[in-house]
Each structure stands twice: as structure tokens, then as C-alpha cells.
Amino acid sequence: MTTFRPSPTSWVRNQVAAIEAAGTTEAADIQGMRVVLLTMTGRKSGDTLKVPLMRVEHEGAYAAVASKGGAPDNPQWYYNVVANPDIMLQDGTQDRPVRARMLDGDERAQWWERCVDAFPPYAEYQANTDRTIPVFVLEPRAA
């Protein structure tokens, strides 16, 4: 059994606590926009980790954008998902097992457009960094 380790970042910790207390991702938002909650395994610790991300959904698949607000480095959750791509996604009250797959080329460009449509600041974040912001597609998998 793994241990849940709350985020060291206060806003993440507070949003996860609000979502868990209410039982729905509708209890939290980022800049007034809906979020989903990802539950993953820490690549080094093996602990259960949770992070709220912008809700970007298309035909039953979701995007996870490793923007870190346009910082020069990837967020820590990115490395956990690369190491352990089988994660849980909560949207509203519904939990579902998903597998993360890194996007590139035309598929990334198509999803990036959806991501910016859902959360326009992503375009500014990309302009503020030299790295190409990673985008994963989260696709349903068997439990």
C-alpha cells in the first residue's frame, strides 16, 4: 500500500483537499476554469501524488499540459507520468484509469490548439519559455 504525500505547494495542496472533501473536481478551479485531478505514483518515492490540471477534454480523451506557467523546466509531475504513465483521472465525481502518452508532431499541434482554446494563458506560457511545453494525451484504459 502506498502513502499519499500532499504537495509541498500550498495552492496544489489546498485544491486537492477541497476536491477530496467535496468529492468532485468542481470544488476547485484555476483562474475560474474547470480542473481535473490526476493521481499518480512518485517515480522516486513510490508515494501516491495528486495534482489538479486544467480540464481539456476531446471525445473522451484528456490533455495534460506540463506548462509550469512557462517556467524553463518541467513540473515535477511530468517526470512521474513519464516514469509511470498509468494514472487515475478524476473529472467531476468520476474517476477513471487512463494511460498518458506524450504527443509530438501534428497530433501535438492539434491538441495544443485545443489546450489553448480551453485555457488561453497556455499560449503566453509557451512564448515565455525556450522549451516546447510537453503535452500528454490521457486515454482510457482498463482498470
Cell numbers for 118: 480551453
Helix and strand counts by DSSP (H, E) for the chain: 4, 8
pLDDT the model gives residue 3: 86
Angstrom CA distances, 57 to 46, 53, 64, 96, stand at: 28, 12, 10, 13
How many residues are given for the chain?
Answer: 143
φ, ψ dihedrals at 18, nearest 5°: -65, -45
Ordered structural domains, the chain, with CATH:
10-140 (2.30.110.10)
* pLDDT tens by residue, 30-81: 989 999 999 999 999 999 999 999 999 999 999 999 999 999 999 999 999 9
Distance CA 125, CA 143 (A): 34
- Supply the pTM of this predicted model: 0.94
| Helices marked H in the chain | 10-22, 76-83, 105-118, 121-127
**Residue 16's pLDDT is what?**
96
| Distance from the first to the final alpha carbon of the chain | 17
Q: Can you give the pLDDT at residue 129?
A: 95
The pLDDT of residue 139 is above 80: yes
Query: Is the pLDDT reported for residue 1 higher than 60?
Result: no
Reported as a single tens digit per residue, the pLDDT across 97-120 is 999 999 999 999 999 999 999 999
